[in-house]
Structure 1
Amino acid sequence: MVAGFSYFATTQPTHLTSMTFSFSSTPGFDFLTQFARHIGAPVHNDLMTMPAQLGQGYIRKLTFGPEFKITIHHYLLQEDLIIKRNSSGLGNELITVFFYSNEQSLGIAFNDNPLVLFSNRDDSAIQVTSNDLSSVIRFPANHYINYVVVAITPSYLTALLAVKDPNSVLQTITGSGNSFLFFESMTAETKLLLKNIAAVNMNDNLSRFYMQIKVQELLYLIFHQLSSRESAAYQSINSADAERLLHIRNEILSDLSVPPVLRELAQIAAMSETKLKQLFKQTFGSTVYNYYQQARMEEAAFLLKQGKRSVAEVGYELGFSNLSHFSRLFEKHYGLNPKRFSTQS
């Protein structure tokens, strides 16, 4: 799957009521304690159960030391939840890794502009960010929300990874004072691991030990993905850049039948073509065109699996005038031509 959320930008009506929680992401900040205080819920043994009048589910925190902790969110609310993370203003003193695994669309932005909404093909993704970037996330009401947040200091992560020759991405993340944002796709292995973590019986005497191992396994999976990226000079990013990149991503994916034109995208982003190319590849791990093509093939696979369209209809819908070219490109991605893929799905 392309790094990020899923395929199409959408516009969806928001609920008339919503709950907003705003905080500054500093190393000493305790999300669970402050959020529980915000909604008037008690915390017992680092577990907060959602009050019945708000919904159902829980938030759990596990601390593995002063430099490494995890927060598990699993709940269904009766109104939208908006979480606003404000810049710490302290530089990269804390690395935050968000694992989103949701069945419904999320909204995310990096300033106070209207949220960018994502479709629900598969709203699973991983976001790695420094704590000096602001962000706004909207979780929809009446749908189960599942996400995990790992917070870790650069020095602790460096010791944990113990990489002798890190690429530029790992150097940036573990370095001092860097502002960064990286999106990665969520593999099937990561999704399964997240489900296993959510199902752990925390009453077991060795549950904390088990959880620490599994959280490190989560970190291994994401940083293994990031370590395979091409090593290139890093360009600093701020919240405004991040917002523009998400907007450009949605422009690319809003109509997969039309190839992106870099010049037009650069004008929309108010960036030079060079800056846009660099920041897009740095953030999403792929060039603009390759990102588009990957999403195009994934949408083709999705449509073929539905069994409601022929291979020709899918190809033409995605802008291929030459069906032989469509078949070759699809087979390159999936190892099967579209016809065989559709019959085996």
Structure 2
Amino acid sequence: MFFEFVPNPQFDFLTHFAKKFNVPLEGDRLILPPVMGTGSIRRISLSTGLKLIVHRYKLNQDIILSRVASDEPNDLVSIIFHSNEATASVNTDGTPNPLSRSSAYAIQIASTDLHSQIRFPANTDIHFIVVGIMKDALKELLGINNPNNVVETIVNAAPGFLYYESMTVEINKLVRQVTEAREDNELGNFYYRLKVQELLYLVFEKLQKREVVNYHLVHKDDVEKLLLIRTAILADLSVPPSLPELAKMAGFGETKMKDIFKQVFGDTIYNYYQQARMEEAAFLLKHSGMSVSEAGYQLGFANLSHFGRIFEKHHGLKPKKYATGG
């Protein structure tokens, strides 16, 4: 299944989705027919300039939601939360990248002038919410006096911005509370508004803590290059990334590459690599049956004491204790 749309403040996702797949609406709710799967999509108008779309379903076929870049500038900020156990994929003018609650792509904050596609696989539980908020409503809600350049870019709805954040346990819990909330609650709108405000607080708390970097307008080609760089970094976690080689491969100048990578992903290339390395180490220790030494050597650590120190710094436990359940 394929659904294409152009985001703007007037666009009604639910109505167009229902028309595309010939599914009747029940007020602000679309219940999927058995031929498509089970579950529903809901739209909730929370306040002036603040809307919510809640996706919770299991489909019989893969679906691609294709967001086409808006040609007309507008003040809409899109914030997408993915809380899926199974891996979907996100493609923002580049190579498909894994998307689940544990990936670095779990939360996307973007302007409406960038194209992206999300593919959800069939026969998997999807928990996925989209917050659409106008820049003036966002400014008023945050009430922040000294925003860093990341937050300032977002609240001004500047063209060509794209940021990713990973999903914390607290944010994931809130997303699940939204997708699993009772629909017969008389105070439902109030409940959703509170939860969305909590989500926005937690996301912007993370964004406000990002180090100030020189802001670069993110063009379509830049996004593609960034995702190529990220794919190259993660291709072999036993080898540290070479900045000159990454820059040459992507066609970036090295300084611009470092700046724009940190701007979008919130960390330096090396720190991002090291974080991914430790996440992979945790996975290997929990799920592969590897010993601490096997996992360390596979990830390129010749010195296991060094591996242990870095692992404990990231996860709060020594590798052996982590592997046995802490």
- Counterpart pick for 2:125 among 130, 133, 144: 144
- Counterpart pick for 2:25 among 43, 49, 58: 43
- Counterpart pick for 1:80 among 44, 62, 73: 62
- Distance in 2 between the 1:335 and 1:143 partners? 32
Q: What's 1:116 paired with?
A: 96
After superposing on structure 2, the runs of 4+ consecutive aligned residues of structure 1 that deviate more than 4 Å are none
- Counterpart pick for 1:131 among 99, 103, 112: 112
- Distance in 2 between the 1:216 and 1:276 partners? 33
Work out whether 1:261 is the aligned partner of 2:245: no
Q: What's 1:340 paired with?
A: 321
TM-score, normalised to structure 1's length?
0.90
* 1:249 partner amino acid: R
* 2:43 partner amino acid: K
- Distance in 2 between the 1:144 and 1:335 partners? 31
**Cα shift at 1:77:** 1.2
**Cα shift at 1:146:** 1.4
Q: Larger RCO: Structure 1 or Structure 2 (Cα < 8 Å, ≥ 6 residues apart)?
A: 1
**Cα shift at 1:157:** 0.1
- Distance in 2 between the 1:249 and 1:55 partners? 34
- Distance in 1 between the 2:295 and 2:80 partners? 34
Q: What's 2:81 paired with?
A: 99
TM-score, normalised to structure 2's length?
0.95
Q: What's 1:31 paired with?
A: 13
Q: Is the 8 A contact 1:110 1:240 kept in 2?
A: no
**Cα shift at 1:121:** 8.7
Query: 5+ residue gaps in structure 2?
Result: none
> Share of identical aligned residues, percent?
46
* 2:81 partner amino acid: F
- Distance in 2 between the 1:307 and 1:243 partners? 32
Q: What's 1:275 paired with?
A: 256
- Distance in 1 between the 2:269 and 2:206 partners? 19
Q: Aligned with 2:26: secondary structure?
A: coil
Q: What's 1:237 paired with?
A: 218
Q: Is the 8 A contact 1:170 1:227 kept in 2?
A: yes
Q: What's 2:231 paired with?
A: 250
- Distance in 2 between the 1:47 and 1:184 partners? 29
Q: What's 2:280 paired with?
A: 299
**Cα shift at 1:193:** 0.9
Q: Aligned with 2:83: secondary structure?
A: strand
Q: Is the 8 A contact 1:157 1:174 kept in 2?
A: yes
Q: What's 2:307 paired with?
A: 326
- Distance in 2 between the 1:20 and 1:344 partners? 42
Q: Aligned with 1:76: secondary structure?
A: strand
Q: 304-313 or 275-284: which moved more?
A: 304-313
Provide the aligned C-alpha RMSD in A. 1.6
- Distance in 1 between the 2:12 and 2:131 partners? 12
Please give the per-residue CA displacement for 1:61-81, whole angstroms capped at 9, x wherever unaligned. Answer: 101234110000111111111
Q: 233-242 or 331-340: which moved more?
A: 331-340
Alignment of 1:187-202 (within 5 A): 187-202=168-183
Q: 244-253 or 68-77: which moved more?
A: 244-253
Work out whether 1:211 is the aligned partner of 2:185: no
Structure 1 residues 303 and 324, CA gap change in structure 2 (3 angstroms): same
Work out whether 1:223 is the aligned partner of 2:184: no
Alignment of 1:170-181 (within 5 A): 170-181=151-162
**Cα shift at 1:90:** 2.2
- Distance in 1 between the 2:144 and 2:112 partners? 23
Q: What's 2:289 paired with?
A: 308
Work out whether 1:53 is the aligned partner of 2:21: no
* 2:120 partner amino acid: F
Query: 5+ residue gaps in structure 1?
Result: 1-18
* 1:58 partner amino acid: S
Q: Is the 8 A contact 1:110 1:133 kept in 2?
A: yes
**Cα shift at 1:178:** 2.9
**Cα shift at 1:239:** 2.2
